[in-house]
Structures are given as C-alpha cells and as structure tokens.
C-alpha cells in the first residue's frame, strides 16, 4: 500500500544531507537555487572542487512517497546508464539518497556537469542567439515560426533502447 504522509522537506539541511554521502570539499557554500516544473536544484560550490547540483523533486501531496522513491530510482538508473554508454551531454551521477530518512527529509540526487558541453562553443550560442530575431521578430513575440514545448522533463522524452531521442510528448 502506498504511503500518503505529508512531505516535510527541509532544504536548510542540504549541506548535512550531502555530507552524509561523503561528497564534500572544502568551504562549501550555496551558490544558487533553481526552481523547475518538477524539481528544485541547489548548486553547491566548493573552494577546491567542481560545483555539484543537488536535485530534489518538488514535495507533492498528490503523489505517494512510494512513487517519489520510484521516480528517483529511475532517474539514478538512467544517469548511470547514460554514463556507461558514454553519453557526453548528461550530468555525471555522484550519489543519491533514495529515502526520506535523511537531513532534508526527501530523496535527492547529487550530480555534476564538467563545465562544458562537448562540441558546443560560445560562438555556437552567439550564432543561435543572432537567429532569434529572424524567428521571433525584433520584438521576440512572433510565434509563427517557433514552437515552445514548455515542459521538457524526462517523462516527456521518448528514447529507443540505445537512449537516442526519438520524440517529445
């Protein structure tokens, strides 16, 4: 039977939760917090190591604890599989707490991006940015030639057995 207890998320304990995984460098500090449609991401930076992202699904009273745990377990499995296949664009999985019995009282994933996206340069970004006026118009409000999905999350991306993206829902 699925658990329906109320979530009790404690983000102020993020350092303690990551520390329990043994993943701390010197002088950690919170360097940003981002809110997405399905999660919060806390950027932890260190004096002597690369920054890490702590990804926490939004606490939600509409889904059970069991479903939350299953979702995190699937994300961990996918990240490990992408790394094993050598997919260079995925963040590297560092660890996870797949339980509510941790200092933040919510499951989370710890991951890191090495700071670059293979094959992408700053010039590529500037070239794409220069095309926006042609696609969206100078006021950037014309959507005749543009489409925005609005909800790119793992559950909306269809992949084949080799993790090639085949479709967006």
pLDDT over 70 at 155, yes or no:
no
pTM of the model: 0.67
Q: Is pLDDT larger for residue 89 or for residue 33? A: 33
pLDDT 10s digits, 10-20: 778 888 888 88
Same domain, 76 and 58: yes
Same domain, 98 and 137: no
Q: 100 lies in which domain range?
A: 11-119
The token duo for 102 is 């941790």
pLDDT of residue 1: 41
Please check whether residue 43 lies inside any domain of the structure.
Answer: yes
- How far apart CA 39 and CA 56 sit, in angstroms, is 5
Same domain, 142 and 106: no
pLDDT over 80 at 60, yes or no:
no
Please check whether residue 5 lies inside any domain of the structure.
Answer: no
Same domain, 99 and 134: no
Same domain, 15 and 70: yes
Q: Which residues contact 150 (CB under 8 A, 6 or more apart)?
A: none
Please check whether residue 34 lies inside any domain of the structure.
Answer: yes
Same domain, 30 and 106: yes
Q: Which residues contact 24 (CB under 8 A, 6 or more apart)?
A: 15, 18, 46
Taking alpha carbons only, the member of 54, 70, 98, 52 closest to residue 2 is 70
pLDDT 10s digits, 134-143: 777 777 777 7
Same domain, 107 and 137: no
């Amino acid at each position: 039977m699925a658990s329906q207890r109320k979530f009790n998320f404690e983000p102020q304990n993020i350092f303690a939760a990551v520390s329990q995984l043994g993943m701390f460098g010197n002088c950690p500090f919170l360097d940003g917090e981002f809110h997405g449609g399905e999660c919060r991401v806390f950027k932890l930076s260190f004096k002597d190591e690369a920054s890490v992202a702590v990804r926490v699904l939004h606490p939600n009273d509409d889904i059970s604890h069991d479903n939350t745990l299953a979702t995190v377990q699937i994300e961990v499995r996918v990240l490990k599989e992408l790394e094993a296949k050598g997919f260079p664009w995925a963040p590297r999985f560092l660890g996870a707490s797949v339980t509510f019995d941790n200092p933040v009282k919510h499951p989370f994933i710890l991951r890191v991006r090495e700071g670059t996206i293979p094959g992408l340069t700053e010039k590529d970004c500037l070239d794409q940015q220069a095309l926006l006026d042609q696609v969206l118009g100078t006021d950037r409000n014309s959507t005749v030639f543009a489409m925005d999905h609005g909800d790119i999350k793992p559950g909306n991306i269809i992949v084949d057995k080799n993790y090639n993206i085949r479709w967006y829902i």
